[in-house]
Amino acid sequence: MSIAASDQAEQSILEAIRGALFDEMARDERVMVLGMDVGQLGGVFRVTRGLMEKFGPERVVDTPLAEGAIVGASLGLAIGGMVPVAEVQFLGFTHQAFHQIGPQLARYRFRSRGRFHAQVTIRAPFGGGVRTPEFHPDAIEAQFSQEPGIKIVCPAFPDDAKGLLLEAIRDPDPVLYLEPQRLYRSVRGQVPPGDHTVPFGTSRTVREGKDVLLVAWSAAVHLCLAAAEELSKGGIEASVLDLRTLVPLDVAGLIAAVEKTSKVVVVHEAPLTGGFGAEIVATIQEEAFGSLDAPIRRVASRDTPYPPGSMEDHFLPTVRRIVAAARTTVEF
């Protein structure tokens, strides 16, 4: 396994994240990585493998098992001049750190009237499809969108994984950087070498099609791509828009994509009710009602607690459900 992977041409998402961490820690000595099992073990997914050997135990720190303290201490570290990249082992574990993320980290610039800011990145894997136990797959990104002050970033490809992570670490404001655990090793792609950043609030069209627009982020983007292939066999050409960041949201890019197809399906892994898809749909109808030719449909997880891994196919959005929703929309 290559360690300093950032000069490699084709990489997995995991390698792209690891490479970005290596590059940024080498570039900026204030950057440190902290979290449970991130040092000696290199993280439960081995994302941070090799960092402790290279940068030492002062900058790559195995912390006690306490998500609230990991995040809260990161805020203090940032105030003290460090640039923490905290790992919360799974996004579902941020339930126990929510009060430190939303009301504290996100609001500290505001509360201090700009005297202090929190240059903190929280990395957290999330998402289903890998048969993990409860809490490990929870897709609770929308909850954080109700906490102004923090940005929410969700790459789906290796190049974006690198570009968005470098952007996140350098951002003077806190960023929740969500890693699609299902895709860590399975999605590979070209990663630009060197100093590659992707500005927040820029969506990306990852497939062009004239008949219907599929809007998604993180792992759901790949479900949409698979659904688009399926639809194509039946003569329906779908566009797939990867939002890349939820906060800030690329409203202009979203509306431009909607105007090209006039028919939209929004897909996400979070449960339907109150999911960020609702925000997307509301935004589209406010900004582009006139260009819609059909009601917007949502394909999301069911409004149930996350079931055991063996049952998750009944819960999560599937290619089949996306194809069905897209057909209904196109045929409206």
Partner 1 sequence: MSSAQVVDALRLMLLSRAVDDRLIKLQRMGRVGVYGPVHGQEAAVIGSAMALDPNRDWIVPASREHPAMLRHGLPLKNMFATYMGNFDAAAVPEGVRLLPRQQAIGAQLPHATGLAWALKLRRTGGVVAVYFGEGASSEGDFHEASNLAGVMRVPLVMLLINNHYAISTPLHRQTAAVNLAARAEGYGFPGFVVDGNDLLAVYSTTVDAVNRALAGEGPTLIECRTYRMGFHNTSDNPKEYRDSAEVDEAEQRDPIERVRRFATREGIWSAGQEAAALDEIRSEIETAQRQVEALPKPGAAAIFEHVYETLPPRLQQQKSEAMDDARPR
Residue 91 touching partner 1 (CB under 8 A): no
Separation CA 131–CA 224 (nearest Å): 20
Residue 94 touching partner 1 (CB under 8 A): no
Nearer to partner 1, 202 or 291 (CB): 202
Selected from 31, 36, 78, 296, the binder of partner 1 by CB under 8 A is: 78
Q: Among 63-71, 206-214, 257-265, 315-323, which window interacts with partner 1 (CB under 8 A)?
A: 63-71
Residue 100 touching partner 1 (CB under 8 A): yes
Residues sharing a CB contact under 8 Å with residue 124, sequence separation 6 or more, in sequence order: 87, 88, 89, 90, 91, 93, 94, 176, 177, 178, 179
Residue 75 touching partner 1 (CB under 8 A): yes
Q: Which of residues 112-171 bind partner 1 (CB under 8 A)?
A: 112-117, 148-149, 151
Nearer to partner 1, 47 or 73 (CB): 73
Residue labelled with tokens 């990852």: 206
Three-state secondary-structure class, residue 298 = strand
Q: Please confirm, yes or no, whether 222 is among the known catalytic residues.
A: no
Residue labelled with tokens 């939303």: 102
| Size, binding site for partner 1 by CB under 8 A | 45
Shortest spacing between CB 80 and partner 1, in angstroms: 2
Shortest spacing between CB 171 and partner 1, in angstroms: 8
CA atoms within 13 A on the CB side of 320: 4
Burial track 209-229 (b if 16+ CB lie within 10 A, e otherwise): bebbbbbbbbbbbbbbbebbe
Residue 79 touching partner 1 (CB under 8 A): yes
The one-letter code for the residue type at 16 is: A
Q: Among 46-54, 81-89, 124-132, 210-218, which window interacts with partner 1 (CB under 8 A)?
A: 81-89
Residue 290 touching partner 1 (CB under 8 A): no
Separation CA 123–CA 137 (nearest Å): 14
Selected from 31, 71, 225, 228, the binder of partner 1 by CB under 8 A is: 71
Q: What are phi and psi of 63, to 5 degrees?
A: -100, 165
Sheet with 175-180, strands from edge to edge, namely 60-62, 31-35, 83-87, 121-126, 175-180, 151-153, 245-247
Site residues for partner 1 per CB under 8 A: 32, 58, 63-64, 66, 68-69, 71-82, 84, 96, 99-100, 103-104, 109-117, 148-149, 151, 172-173, 201, 247-249, 251-252
